[in-house]
Each structure stands twice: as C-alpha cells, then as structure tokens.
Structure 1
Amino acid sequence: MSTVFVVGSLNIDQNVRVSSLPRAGETVRGTDATFSPGGKGGNQAVAAARAGAHVKFTGAVGDDPHGRRILDVLSDARIDHTQLRVVGNAPTGTAIIAVDDRGENQIIVSPGANSSLTADDVEAGLGAMQAGDILVLQLEIASVLVRQAAAVARSRGAFVILNAAPAPGRIDGLLDDVDLLVVNEQEIRAVAEILGMPPGNHLELVQSLPPVLGAAIVCTAGAEGSFAVLDGGLVHVPASAAAAVDTTGAGDTFVGYLAASLLATPGDLAGAMRRASSAAALAVTRTGAMESIPWQQELQAAPTSALPTNFVSN
C-alpha cells in the first residue's frame, strides 16, 4: 500500500482570542486560554489521513497529558504512529497562538520534546518507505533531520514534499532532495532572498524559482488562492469563499490534502491543489489546528458554492 510518511513536529497549542494582534511593546486583553493538539507535522499527518491516505508519522511528544491527548487524535485519524517517541525528560512542544477577530494569528513555538528527535528515529521511521510513497516535511524540527529524511526518501524513489514553514533563515542543501516545495507569500520571498534573487512578488517568484531550485513550487496566497507552474504556464486555483474564524492550521490542511491527493493520483498537481483548497476553506471556518481539519466526507457534503469552481491556466 502506498503511504504518506510524515516526519515532523507535534505541539499542544495554547490559543487566546484577541480583538487585535499586539504590536511591539503593547499588551492586549484576550480570552481565557484553551489548549488543542497541533504542530505542523502532526497537522499535516492528520490532514493526509482525513483525506483518505495511509499515513505513518515520526516525531516526539513528552510523557505528559498534552502528549497523550495528541496521541489520541493521531489514533482517531488511524495514523500509524508506532515510530513516535514519548520522551520522559522534556515536555510536549508548545505553540502560543493569538488569533484576532479577522482570524489572523501570531504564533510563538517552544519545541520541547521535538528537540529530542534523532537521526536514528528518522531512519527507523522511514524504514518501510519505497518507490511510490510520499514524504512530507516541514521546518519545525532540526534542519539536519529534514535533510536526512529527504535524502533517504530520494534514495528509495519516494516523492518529497517540503513545506518551508516556518520560513528558513538559510538553505544549506535543504532543497537538494525535494521534488515539491510548498510555501506561502512570505516564505517564497524568504527563499528567494536567501538565494540572492532579485526581489519580486509571489506570482513572479513562483515562475522564476523552480529552474533555480530544481523543484516544483506551489505557493499559497490566502484569499488569492494558490499558484504553480505546469507545462510552462501559470496555474491559479482560486480560494474558496469562506468566513474565516481561525486561519491556524489552514496551510497544514492544504499540505496534507495535497500530499494525499498526489498519492492517489500521481502527477495531477492541479487536481490536488483544487482539493487542498477546498479542505483549507472548510478548516478556516473552525477553531483550532488539528481539530479544524475536515474529513474527506465533509468535502463531498459541502455546498457547491463553498468549493472552488474556477480553474484558470494561462
């Protein structure tokens, strides 16, 4: 059975609602904090599983109530987490998230147990990987482990997706074994700046960067939708209309659904982008990260007006 492998982070998200996000030096009053499972790696694994893929996850949590709650969510999504390590000497990673009335957020991440992930963990987690599988990576774990995982996947003939989030401060071979880079508007500019490319907007960069990187690029741009280049032409998948309540986890939902769709229909990047956009649109209408990610049945049941209907290639 072809599989989506995910190596990445797991966090407990501490969520606070505010009327507006604080500026430097400003204190704002928020609601009482709530806690929910998250972490970019875990979110993307859950999204791929809820999209219908068989998923294997490699990561680490603390031996604490937050870690156990995350394990419950992974189990409910039927994710194989036998290679997930429970760490006794570090707490589960924590993300402190402020969300304003428009659904926009600011996030601070404390890695906790994520820093305990080792090269041996990665090797063991990818032990069953083979040609036809997909590896999904992000940048909330050590970059050396991201590079290792990508190299292992490439050597096995698997397809490698890297979500360059949070935006990298340096490349250092990070993209050497990547087949598809998924970035948002800020992240694609950060990658271009690191590479010393002339500044440009995300539409220009999604077309100019692939030849430089040797990898395809999908750029998500919030309400503008997502963009990629296929057969030399710019492809645009419009964003679905949605009343955003909380954008936390929307990008991870997009990445997980994208991976699951490419596993089911290899090579159909445009179709995968459309499905991922539909899932992300549903996710932003809910609060939380993992908990907001829709199951594939919910996409099928969503009103037609809530799904993208226009697909433009030029």
Structure 2
Amino acid sequence: MTKVLSKKDQLFELVRANPYISQQELADQLQLSRSAVAGYLSSLTKDGRILGRAYVLPDRSPIVCIGGANIDRKLRSLAPLQMGTSNPVSQHESYGGVARNIAENLSRLGAATRLICAVGDDAAGQSLLTHAASVGIDADASLHVPGALSGSYTALLDDAGELVLALAHMELCEHLTPAFLRSRQQQWAHASMTVADMNLPLDSMQLLLDEAKRGRTPLIVVAVSQPKMARLPEDLTGLRLLILNQAELSQRYGKTLTHHDEMVTAGRQLQAQGAQDVMITLGDQGVLVSHRNQGDAWIYAEAAPVDASAVVDVTGAGDAFVAGVCWSLSEQPFDLMRACRRGQQLASITIQTTATVAQHLHPTLFDEEPQCIPT
C-alpha cells in the first residue's frame, strides 16, 4: 500500500529536489497559502530537516563567505574626464562588497551559500540582508552594529567604463573580530569551503588560518586592495588558495612587479610562506596560476575574449572571477586550470552587464558554451 505523504513531507520533498524553490512556487504546487508554506518551512527548520532561509539541507554543506557587504554606487562619466571641474555622470546603485558579491554569484550558480558580514542598523543594512535572503543566501549569522551606518563603495568610471577611482567606507568590517567569529563558529566550522576577503582585521585572518590548519575545510583568501595587504599574515600555512592582482602582489613583495617571471618569483615566495596555491589576476591580460599538485609549475591563462564594444563596466568582474573559481573547486577540488577558466568565463559575463553581479546566472551555466548575457 502506497503511503500518502503529508503536506509537510510533500513540501520537504519539493525542497529536497530544488533547494532554491520560492515560497510562491511551493504554494502553487501544493495548493497552499503562502502563510501555510512559511509555517511548514519554519517547522522543518525547527526539526533540523532544513537549515535557514535558503532551505539548505543538512547534508549540503554551504560555501561560507566572510567579509564585506555594502551599497555600491557607480558614477560613469558621460565624456572624457576633466580634473578640477564638474563632470556630467550617470549613476547606478546596487548591492556590493567583495564577500557579498562572491556569495551572490555562488548562490545564483546554485551553490548553498552563507554570508557572514556586518551591517548597520540603518535602512541600507536591512535592505542588504533582505536582498541576500531573496537570492538564496543565508545571512542570518551576520552582525548588526547599533548606531552605525552600513558600508558603501563609490566607483568613478571613465566614459569607457574603466575604473578611475574608488572610495570604500568599510569600517564595519573592523567589528568582525576573532571574538565575533568564534561566536559564529557553528555557522562556518562545517562549511564545504570558507572564502574570506581581506576587509577582515589581521587577527581575524589569523584565526581563519589557524582553524584551516586544524580542519579539512579549504580556506580561500581574496585580496581587496593594496592598503589591505597589511592584513595578510606572514605565515600562510593552512591557506588553500590566495587570489590577488598584480598591484596587490607588488605591495606584498615590496617592489613593483611588471614581468611574468618577477610575478612568478613573488608567487613562489607566497607558497614558501605556506599558501598551497596562488592566482595572480592581470585584468584583460589574463591570469598566472600556480599548481603545487603539478610540481613547481606555473601556468599563464589568457583572458576570455570579449569584444571591446560589449564592455559595459568592469565593476564586480574580479569578484565574479573568484566566485567561478570557488564554484569549480567545490566541484573539482584539484583542477585549478578549469577553475581559472570558469572564473574568467564568469568575469567576462559580468563586464557585459550594468549589474555588479550578473542577474542571468543559473546552476547549469558552466554546462554551456560561453555566451554574452543581456544587460
């Protein structure tokens, strides 16, 4: 005799089949009200059968992203910039922050994703967390700082869409202290992968490295700017992968690096300090990639081809690259070149859109040939 499932169990099976199904879709398929669906989801969460608002199943460990979340403001000049005077610009606002951008890319690609960040008690902070939940990111472990303004990032782009100047107000990340991270250890200790941006304080970066040494969770660290390279500890033992650009590498190395052989030498120094692998991004010139599993090899990967006329703006491309790398490594942990190619594919999609995170990403993206995505 076939057992008839209760509505609660039917809902659970739908979530198991598609962890990113919306409440409205659940309501339509089960012929329930939205409030009834919300009640069943709450009950399943209390039972431990699903975890958090992203409907993450207990056997589906999330990728945990720790670091910056803020409001992005992009100002793009309508004509060649002239210094010392007023320039007409267009303005676009979106959600940003390195860790948050990586998390959104990953979630849109179908990965179970958790974000640990700091927001103020203002409308921007509430909006950041509401938006995270709407795209499937579990941000429940994030810190709310009373009386503080949420972070902001203002980018000035020239008339070709290239970054001229960026102003980052990221003071709230200073509250992501070791004590706070320990208070959220349950939320990140069992991740399938931890991705940390270097908005975190130095001692917090050290804590994550120490935990990575002891556990099996891969740690990927993402540089965010030259000044914040000072937040990268000297001993990098436990670090699975460090992703940084040419200028950030030069900052760490203590001299300007211009040739590939110089950058490889500096990258090998990072490996000697404990990093298993290093990716050095060179913008539209490609990526230099180490691969310790292939001896002392370093490989140069050309950038994915993009017609210059298709470039809208480059904001978010670096974060998209990191997300593509992380998604790929979560599926195939030792194939660094495939991860690099997928990162480049995601970056090329992003620079062809007006959004910091391309809105047309989906879980089967990497099953397809690279293509342009509508803006």
Q: TM-score scaled to structure 2, two decimals?
A: 0.72
**Is 2:96 the partner of 1:35?**
no
User: Can you list the C-alpha shifts for 1:41-98, whole angstroms capped at 9, x where unaligned?
Assistant: 1111112222222112111111222222222331122111110122221011011111
Larger radius of gyration: 2
2:314 to 228, 247, 257: 247
Deviation, 1:244, is: 1.8
Residues 92 and 174 of structure 1, relative CA distance in 2, 3 Å threshold = farther
**Is 2:301 the partner of 1:237?**
yes
Give the gaps of 5 or more residues in structure 1. 308-314
Residue correspondences, number: 301
Q: Residue 336 of structure 2 aligns with which residue?
A: 269
Bigger drift between 91-100 and 220-229 goes to: 220-229
Deviation, 1:297, is: 4.8
**Is 2:187 the partner of 1:120?**
no
Asked if 2 retains the 8 angstrom alpha-carbon contact of 1:129 and 1:156, the reply is no
**Is 2:154 the partner of 1:96?**
yes
2:170 to 105, 111, 125: 111
Amino acid paired to 1:77: V
Asked if 2 retains the 8 angstrom alpha-carbon contact of 1:16 and 1:30, the reply is no
Q: How does 1:157-196 map to 2 (within 5 A)?
A: 157-167=216-226, 168-170=228-230, 171-173=232-234, 175-193=236-254
Asked if 1 retains the 8 angstrom alpha-carbon contact of 2:205 and 2:233, the reply is no
Amino acid paired to 1:251: G
Q: Residue 154 of structure 1 aligns with which residue?
A: 213
Separation of aligned partners in 2, 1:88 and 1:198? 41
Q: Residue 138 of structure 1 aligns with which residue?
A: 197
Greater relative CO, 1 or 2 (CA 8 Å, sep 6+): 1
Residues 203 and 126 of structure 1, relative CA distance in 2, 3 Å threshold = farther
Asked if 2 retains the 8 angstrom alpha-carbon contact of 1:83 and 1:124, the reply is no
Deviation, 1:200, is: 4.9
Amino acid paired to 1:214: G
Deviation, 1:9, is: 0.7
Deviation, 1:304, is: 4.5
User: Can you list the C-alpha shifts for 1:97-141, whole angstroms capped at 9, x where unaligned?
Assistant: 111122211211112433333323312333244577211111223
Asked if 2 retains the 8 angstrom alpha-carbon contact of 1:45 and 1:79, the reply is yes
**Is 2:17 the partner of 1:17?**
no
Bigger drift between 88-97 and 51-60 goes to: 51-60
Asked if 2 retains the 8 angstrom alpha-carbon contact of 1:49 and 1:260, the reply is no
Asked if 2 retains the 8 angstrom alpha-carbon contact of 1:5 and 1:126, the reply is no
Q: Residue 8 of structure 2 aligns with which residue?
A: none
Deviation, 1:267, is: 0.9
Residues 91 and 129 of structure 1, relative CA distance in 2, 3 Å threshold = closer
Separation of aligned partners in 2, 1:185 and 1:28? 32
3-state SS of the aligned residue for 1:235? strand
Q: Residue 133 of structure 2 aligns with which residue?
A: 75
- RMSD of aligned residue pairs (Cα, Å): 2.7
Residues 79 and 174 of structure 1, relative CA distance in 2, 3 Å threshold = farther
Residues 262 and 89 of structure 1, relative CA distance in 2, 3 Å threshold = same
2:279 to 218, 239, 255: 218
Deviation, 1:154, is: 3.0
Amino acid paired to 1:254: F
Deviation, 1:202, is: 4.3
3-state SS of the aligned residue for 1:261? helix
Amino acid paired to 1:221: L
Residues 31 and 50 of structure 1, relative CA distance in 2, 3 Å threshold = same
Residues 212 and 296 of structure 1, relative CA distance in 2, 3 Å threshold = same
Q: Residue 6 of structure 1 aligns with which residue?
A: 65
Residues 156 and 17 of structure 1, relative CA distance in 2, 3 Å threshold = same
Asked if 1 retains the 8 angstrom alpha-carbon contact of 2:109 and 2:361, the reply is yes
Bigger drift between 127-136 and 293-302 goes to: 293-302
Bigger drift between 207-216 and 155-164 goes to: 207-216
Separation of aligned partners in 2, 1:22 and 1:111? 28
Residues 256 and 208 of structure 1, relative CA distance in 2, 3 Å threshold = same
Separation of aligned partners in 2, 1:141 and 1:208? 23
Deviation, 1:294, is: 5.0
Asked if 1 retains the 8 angstrom alpha-carbon contact of 2:223 and 2:229, the reply is no
Deviation, 1:255, is: 0.8
Bigger drift between 176-185 and 271-280 goes to: 176-185
